[in-house]
Amino acid sequence: MNPVRLSSSTFILFSLFILSLVFFQNSFGQSLNVSAGPDKEIIASQSIQIGGSPTASGGIAPYFYAWFPGEGLNDATISNPVSSAITTTEYIITVTDATGAVATDTVTVFVKRYLYAVNDNGPAQLTRVDVDSPTPSLEIVADYIIYAGPAGYGLPIGAILDETEAAALDITTGTAYIISNLGVE
């Protein structure tokens, strides 16, 4: 059997043909998939890791990650950053693979904000109210203090309150508020 002799230009073309077959088989065989993971819920001042498991698959590695917005993330260019959002935030992950294919997904981090209220005469009681609830309410049994909406008047921390009022502290801002008992006896 006689060996087949290829010219250098034929060899180069043949090599490029084989490489393109491998490349197209890989890029068309598995499309780029992105998972931002399930929505998460945290309490203000907490942190949580976001992203899928895995965040990117298919396509051709390496993957390049871009999370938006980047505020509140420890690194907006990794697959599974840690979010320290202070308000409910929807993050968009855009992944680009080695071929330039792009895919996106979203995840929402719901941030629950609470006021912590304590009555000023015994027995001391600590109560938490979700200020983002459509109908927030608070009742402290010792004084029957009622909270009917977001507190609106600031009070310096450490201020002395009379027996018809209670203090509430927003831990996200460090602001304390007066909550009146609204005339309930």
Q: Please, what are the domains in the chain?
A: 33-112 (2.60.40.10), 114-180 (no CATH)
Q: Using alpha carbons only, how large is the chain's radius of gyration in Å? A: 29
pLDDT in tens, 8-23: 666 676 665 655 655 5
Q: What are phi and psi of 13, to 5 degrees?
A: -65, -45
Question: Chain centroid to CA 48: how far?
Answer: 7
Q: Scanning the structure block, which residue is given the tokens 């009146």? A: 180
The Cα–Cα gap between 80 and 89 comes to 16
User: Which of 63, 62, 33, 34 has the alpha carbon at shortest distance from 50?
Assistant: 34
Kindly report, residue by residue over 121-176, the tens digit of the pLDDT.
Answer: 445 455 555 656 655 554 443 433 333 344 444 433 333 344 445 555 555 555 55
pLDDT in tens, 24-65: 545 455 899 999 999 999 887 789 999 999 999 999 999 999
Q: What are 170's two structure tokens? A: 């927003």
Q: Which residues contact 118 (CB under 8 A, 6 or more apart)?
A: 124, 125, 126, 127, 140, 166, 167
> From CA 134, how far away is CA 30, in angstroms rounded?
45
Contacts of 148 (CB under 8 A, 6+ apart): 136, 137, 182
Q: What is the pLDDT of residue 161?
A: 40
- Residue 157 φ/ψ, nearest 5 degrees: -60, 135
Cα separation, 32 vs 22, whole angstroms: 17
The reported pTM is: 0.58
